[in-house]
Each structure stands twice: as structure tokens, then as C-alpha cells.
Amino acid sequence: MGCQKTIAKQIVKKQADYVLSVKDNQQELLEDIKDSFSILWANDYYEYVDYDHGRIETRKCSILTDLSLVFTAAKWPAIRSIVKMQRERHFKATGKIESETQYYISTLSDAKVIEKSIRKHWGIENKVHWVLDVAFNEDMSRKRDGNAAQNFSSLNRIAINLLRKSELKIGIKSRRKICGWDNDYLMKILKN
């Protein structure tokens, strides 16, 4: 959803940089990127190893600034590089190893900066998802009809933002419960 030319154009228009994940909805672009990495040498490379939470995670970020094999590159505003991010997680307790590879396009050309941007994005996503699951039980939702799940998720995110503005020093889940019990508190939250 995020890897769209209109989104890239808006980001560039605001004089900002982008690192957009390329997935199956951009099949031609994805194939061109994979082909590029199988044929060309990376211009820049950065590796980061993280020892935390009972696992060893290695992230390898390779970038190419040679876009000659990416036939749709000219359609992407200000694109300067394509990115290959490889992650491997080794779980110490079980010995299990998970690995994945993702591809990106970017206006940046520094592998270390791109890797940090991707890691920061996922840190934010994981925190938001955790709150949605704990405070709103979103993973247990049975909404499947049409756009119901996506619409409800958007409403939940709005609710989280409103609840975070509350001055009470308690968790989001507790603030949500208080809104259900106390109409005055609910109105105070909605007016913020």
C-alpha cells in the first residue's frame, strides 16, 4: 500500500526522503530489483548485529545506485537507489533460525542511513501494533466483510491518539475502560 508513485511524489514535494517497501503489488518493479541484485555489485553495504531478547539478529543492507535494470525507475520521483535488506534471527533457547529478505526503493544512497530508517519504522509499527492488540484485542477481531477490518483499525488508531493525550498516568487499556464507565471523561478525551 505504501509503495505508490503518488505517495513518493508527495514525500519529494515536501523535500523529504523516502524508503518504500516493494512487495508483490509492484510485481514488475520487484522483479527488476531482484534481477539487479543477482547481476550487479552493491555500491554500499551495512551490517548490524543485535543481541537482545534471547536472540541474535543480523541485518544486512545492500544498496545499488545503478538503476539500469529497473525499467520503471523513471516513473519514481527522485529515486536514487534500490535496497536489499536481509534479516536473520537466531533464537538462543531453541536454536531456531528465521530469515527473510525484503526490497525497497529510496531517495537515499547510504546503506547505514537506510538500515536505520527501516529499523526505526518497524520499531514504531511494532509498538503501535502491540497497543492495538493489547488495548483493543485487534488480533482477535472477526471483522472480514468488505473494508470493515481496515476501517475499524483506522478508528482504533484515532482512539489511541486521543487516549494518549489524556493526563492520567495509566495505560491505554485502562483509559479506554474509564471512557466506557465515565461519560464526562469520555467527552474530555473526545474534545482534546
Same domain, 71 and 151: no
Look at 60 and 23; give whichever has higher pLDDT.
60
Q: With a cut of 60, say whether residue 119 has pLDDT above it.
A: yes
Can you give the pLDDT at residue 32? 97
CB-based contact 139:133 (threshold 8 Å): yes
Strand order in the sheet with 81-91: 19-22, 97-106, 81-91, 55-64, 44-52
Look at 185 and 47; give whichever has higher pLDDT.
47
Q: With a cut of 70, say whether residue 99 has pLDDT above it.
A: yes
Among 72, 67, 76, smallest CA distance to 6 is for 76
Look at 128 and 102; give whichever has higher pLDDT.
102
- Per-residue pLDDT of 53-64, as tens digits, reads 788 999 999 999
| pLDDT level of residue 120 (50, 70, 90 thresholds) | confident
Q: Return d(Cα 71, Cα 83) in angstroms, integer.
A: 16
Residue 135 lies in a domain: no
Residue 136 lies in a domain: no
Residue 186 lies in a domain: yes
Last residue in a domain, options 90, 109, 128: 109
Same domain, 99 and 31: yes
Residue 123 lies in a domain: no
CB-based contact 30:22 (threshold 8 Å): yes
Among 85, 103, 90, 100, smallest CA distance to 46 is for 85
Structural domains in the chain (count): 2
| pLDDT level of residue 134 (50, 70, 90 thresholds) | low
